[in-house]
């Protein structure tokens, strides 16, 4: 298996720095029920819808399944997966957010989550039945996005449920307008990907030849625009 590319490593370092030092406090607030600005309230609502969308792609009972929450943030999705009975490995580049997630899970008495700080592509994490990556691959160019999935795929037995940032003229305009808002209200830099380009890239990536896109759903809420993509291992149930 090839090592992650230089662009991926460089982007990963920037993302880790951003979320751990610049955005960790804002991210904790966004993923809680604390009062936020109207802009962030829309983002919060959009993320909640996306979280439920990704959860709906998975079995109601995950008892006996091992699940990777790649880019777990404050652990909200990881805790949902744990409540379904999964053995969850939740990983994020930000040690600050991981510590916060661990505390929240402990407060709720959830013990079947292994929280770690590091790279979601680390082969030492082992194999999984399912992978969920909510808004964690949207910061990478399509080539790096597919490269990340290629490195995960050999260690996943059933399904990968991810999100991409859909490329639309409206989304491009919203991103341009967003640059004029105060820094505290700006979303992290994301990379827009056309669904057709993703599908084409999936078909042209040898390491993903055993995978097919079985479902996709777009969530639009103000500045929050994300598209769920469910990839199924052919022959799996």
pLDDT band at 18 (very low <50, low <70, confident <90, very high): confident
User: Distance between CA 22 and CA 100 in Å, rounded?
Assistant: 15
Q: Are 170 and 142 in contact (CB under 8 A)?
A: no
For the chain, helix, strand, coil in percent to 5 are 45, 25, 30
Q: How many residues belong to the chain?
A: 237
Check: CATH 1.10.10.10 for 6-233? Answer: no
pLDDT at 235 over 90: no
Q: Are 70 and 131 in contact (CB under 8 A)?
A: yes
Q: What is the DSSP letter of 19?
A: I
CA distances in angstroms from 43 to 33, 39, 62, 113, 221, listed in the order given: 13, 7, 28, 26, 7
Query: In which residue are the tokens 């309230």 written?
Result: 41
Q: Are 73 and 123 in contact (CB under 8 A)?
A: no
Span 207-229, pLDDT tens digits: 999 999 999 999 999 889 999 99
In this prediction, residues 171-188 reach a mean pLDDT of: 46
């Amino acid at each position: 298996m090839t090592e992650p590319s230089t662009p991926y490593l460089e982007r990963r370092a920037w993302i880790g720095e951003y979320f751990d030092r610049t955005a960790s406090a804002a991210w904790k607030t966004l993923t809680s029920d604390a009062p936020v600005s109207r802009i962030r309230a829309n983002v919060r609502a959009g993320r909640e819808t996306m979280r439920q969308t990704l959860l709906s792609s998975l079995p109601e009972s995950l008892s006996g399944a091992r699940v990777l929450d790649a880019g777990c943030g404050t652990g909200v999705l990881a805790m949902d997966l744990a409540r379904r009975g999964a053995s969850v490995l939740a990983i994020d580049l930000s040690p600050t957010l991981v510590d916060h997630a661990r505390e929240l899970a402990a407060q709720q008495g959830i013990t079947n989550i292994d929280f770690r700080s590091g790279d979601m592509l680390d082969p030492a994490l082992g194999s999984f039945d399912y992978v969920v990556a909510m808004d964690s691959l949207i910061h990478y160019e399509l080539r790096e996005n597919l490269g990340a999935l290629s490195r995960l795929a050999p260690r996943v037995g059933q399904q990968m449920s991810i999100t991409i940032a859909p490329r639309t003229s409206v989304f491009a305009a919203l991103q341009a307008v967003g640059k004029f808002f105060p820094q505290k209200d700006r979303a992290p830099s994301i990379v827009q990907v056309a669904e057709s380009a993703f599908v084409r890239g999936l078909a042209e990536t040898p390491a993903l030849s055993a995978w097919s896109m079985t479902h996709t759903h777009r969530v639009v809420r103000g500045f929050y625009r994300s598209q769920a993509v469910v990839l199924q291992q052919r022959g799996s149930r």
